[in-house]
Structure 1
Amino acid sequence: MRFLLAVILIAALGWSSYWYIGQRGLQTAFSSWFEARRSEGWVAETSDLSVQGFPNRFDTGFADLILADPATGLAWEAPYFQLSALSYQPNHVIAVWPETQLIATPQEKFRVEARDMRASLRIAPDTRLAPRNVTLTAEFLQITPEDRPEEISTLTSLTLAAEQQETDRDYRLGLAAEGLTLAPPWRDLLDPDGSLPAQISNLTADLTVTFDKVWDRTAIEVARPQPTRIKVALVDGKWGQLHLQAAGEVDVTPDGMPEGEITLKARNWRDMIALAQASGALREGMAQTVENGLDLLARMNGNRETLDIPLTFRGGRILLGPIPIGPAPVLRLR
């Protein structure tokens, strides 16, 4: 019994020492990180940094957190933020966001309100802290421009997932969003006649993105990795009677221009043309020309109500089939 008691006491003392060393190490590491960001010109402040959870967890809490990167103009404010990890599995981290936070871009600020917004991260067990896989969920999400409080966009549920592939610069990304309600200006632009339901019922995406470097701590401290190739396995969206799917692959040039082809499959595509015309995205004369050309392509495919057509990105332009429809987006992460 004395021997068993001694073993228990030694084990308890050893575990307590391990937890205390880990707790002090986390506090020192995060404090040093904040100081390093401030030395680079960031705003990096928190009114309280604490590590709790003895004996089985490391719960790192940040109160009144403010981070702002002068190089990109991006900033984030939160009344609190928490990172939790089991003390015997410190590379599996759970992040928990507050119900209200503020995100600022060079253009404007957005208030983000969420219920049960959290993420599970499995991180490589080294100092680079590269995430191996990440899953973020929220039961409700609302985004409001701070200067235009009436322009509210909401989601009833959101799931985002990312997994690092065997080639460590490749990441498989997944999205599942339900109940998207657009802010009134966007709704009026896309559906000026109000003929569609208030909510976009379902949006899913499965794609693999190759970046020019691995996502790790330098993505925040130095510069964001930039996409070099995007392979779309499937994007699927439903809004009322409209149903759009997409698949394909594009390369991304060093200046962020996509080059490649995405195949679109559209059901009730004539309604989409009518919406584009009503919103002003297509002039009346051009809309009729586009509809006639797409009708010919649909008949060639054997189903006039379903359209399979390539969306081509070339030379900084987008072509829908043979028809130029506008400039290509610049795919650069700030």
Structure 2
Amino acid sequence: MRALLTLIVIATLGWSGYWFVGQRGLEQAFGQWFDTRRAEGWVAETSDLSVLGFPNRFDTSFDDLALADPDTGLAWEAPFFQILTLSYRPNHVIAVWPDDQMIATPQDKFRVQSTDMRASLVIAPNTALAPERATLTAEFLRVAPLARPDDTTALTALTLAAERNDGASYRFGLSAEGLSPSTPWRARLDPKNTLPAQLAGLRADMTVSFDKPWDRTAIEDARPQPTHIKLDLADAAWGQLQLQAAGEVSVDAAGQPTGEITIKARNWRDILDLAVASGAVPESLAKTLESGLSMMAQMAGNQQTLDIPLGFRNGRVMLGPTPLGPAPVLHLR
């Protein structure tokens, strides 16, 4: 009995020592990270940094957190942020965001409000801290520019999942429920107010290859840039309108895509009417475009469904030999 008691005491002291060493190591590592960012010209401030959770957790909390990268113009402010880990499984991390935070880009500043926004990350057990898989969820999400608080985009539920395949290739899954477009965006897209206030759903499944893995250098140095995108399926439903997309593009160093994405549009005439009403398609071209698209639908065997192959080349979006406009630049700041 005495030997067992001695063993328990030794194990308890050993575990306590491990926890307090780990606590001290985390506090020093995060403090050094903030010091290094400030030396590089960042804004990197927190009013309090603490590690609690003895004996089975390392719960790191930051109060009044402010980060700003002068090279990209990106900034983030939050009243608190938490990184929660089990002391016996330190590479599995839970990140918890506040219900109210601010994100700034070179173009605008946004207020982000959410309910139970958190992420689960499994990180590679090395100093690069590269996520192997991650899931971000929120029961409610609202984003609005600070200068235009009524210009609000909201979701009732969000799930974003990512898993590293190999090297710098990642598979992403997105599910967004109850998407309510902002009032100005809706007014431009649906000026006659014929569609419901919310999209029924938005889903996407894709694999993206980058020029380097996502790890701690993505914050400290530069964001990885996409080099190849394989869109297995994107699906959006808004009232009687439904769009699906699939395809594959390569992305060069300038962010220009080359490849093809096929759009499947159900009730495509209604979509064309919206495009004309919003001014995206000139009214003078509506009849000509409707005749051409109708012929394409008839050739496919379903007049209500239209398959539109969009080509991306030389910085342009092409419908067959016809240029539709400039291609999006796929570059992460």
Tell me if 1:157 matches 2:134. no
Residue aligning to 1:219: 218
Residue aligning to 1:18: 18
Residue aligning to 2:75: 75
Matches within 5 A, 1:297-312: 297-312=296-311
Q: Deviations over 1:98-127 (max 9, x none)?
A: 000000001110000000000000000010
Q: What is the rounded CA distance, in whole Å, between the counterparts of 1:324 and 1:288 in structure 2?
A: 18
Moved more, 120-129 or 289-298: 289-298
SS in 2 for 1:180: coil
Deviation of 1:321 after TM superposition, in Å, equals 4.0
Deviation of 1:239 after TM superposition, in Å, equals 0.2
Q: Deviations over 1:14-57 (max 9, x none)?
A: 00000001000000000000000000000000000000000010
SS in 1 for 2:214: coil
Q: Which amino acid aligns with 2:175?
A: A
Tell me if 1:240 matches 2:247. no
SS in 1 for 2:281: coil
Q: Deviations over 1:187-227 (max 9, x none)?
A: 00110000000101100000000000011100000000000
Q: What is the rounded CA distance, in whole Å, between the counterparts of 2:197 and 2:27 in structure 1?
A: 47
Matches within 5 A, 1:92-241: 92-165=92-165, 167-241=166-240
Residue aligning to 1:50: 50
Residue aligning to 1:28: 28
Q: Which amino acid aligns with 1:31?
A: G
- Retained in 2: the 8 A contact 1:290–1:323? no
Q: What is the rounded CA distance, in whole Å, between the counterparts of 2:217 and 2:60 in structure 1?
A: 21
Moved more, 283-292 or 91-100: 283-292
- TM-score, length-scaled by structure 1: 0.99
Q: What is the rounded CA distance, in whole Å, between the counterparts of 1:239 and 1:70 in structure 2?
A: 39
Deviation of 1:311 after TM superposition, in Å, equals 1.1
RMSD over aligned CA atoms reads 0.7
Q: What is the rounded CA distance, in whole Å, between the counterparts of 2:190 and 2:124 in structure 1?
A: 46
Q: Deviations over 1:280-304 (max 9, x none)?
A: 0000122222211111111000001
Q: What is the rounded CA distance, in whole Å, between the counterparts of 1:196 and 1:303 in structure 2?
A: 24
Deviation of 1:322 after TM superposition, in Å, equals 4.2
- Retained in 2: the 8 A contact 1:130–1:214? yes
Q: What is the rounded CA distance, in whole Å, between the counterparts of 2:319 and 2:151 in structure 1?
A: 31
Residue aligning to 1:281: 280
Deviation of 1:175 after TM superposition, in Å, equals 0.3
Matches within 5 A, 1:251-270: 251-270=250-269
Q: What is the rounded CA distance, in whole Å, between the counterparts of 1:59 and 1:301 in structure 2?
A: 58
Structure 2: 5+ residue runs without aligned partners? none
Q: Which amino acid aligns with 1:201?
A: A
Q: What is the rounded CA distance, in whole Å, between the counterparts of 2:289 and 2:88 in structure 1?
A: 61
SS in 1 for 2:297: helix
Q: What is the rounded CA distance, in whole Å, between the counterparts of 2:263 and 2:299 in structure 1?
A: 15
Q: Which amino acid aligns with 2:269?
A: R
Structure 1: 5+ residue runs without aligned partners? none
- Retained in 2: the 8 A contact 1:309–1:321? no
Q: What is the rounded CA distance, in whole Å, between the counterparts of 1:281 and 1:175 in structure 2?
A: 27
Q: What is the rounded CA distance, in whole Å, between the counterparts of 2:247 and 2:320 in structure 1?
A: 14
Deviation of 1:320 after TM superposition, in Å, equals 3.0
Percentage of pairs with the same residue: 66
SS in 1 for 2:111: strand
- Retained in 2: the 8 A contact 1:159–1:176? yes
Deviation of 1:325 after TM superposition, in Å, equals 1.6
Residue aligning to 1:323: 322
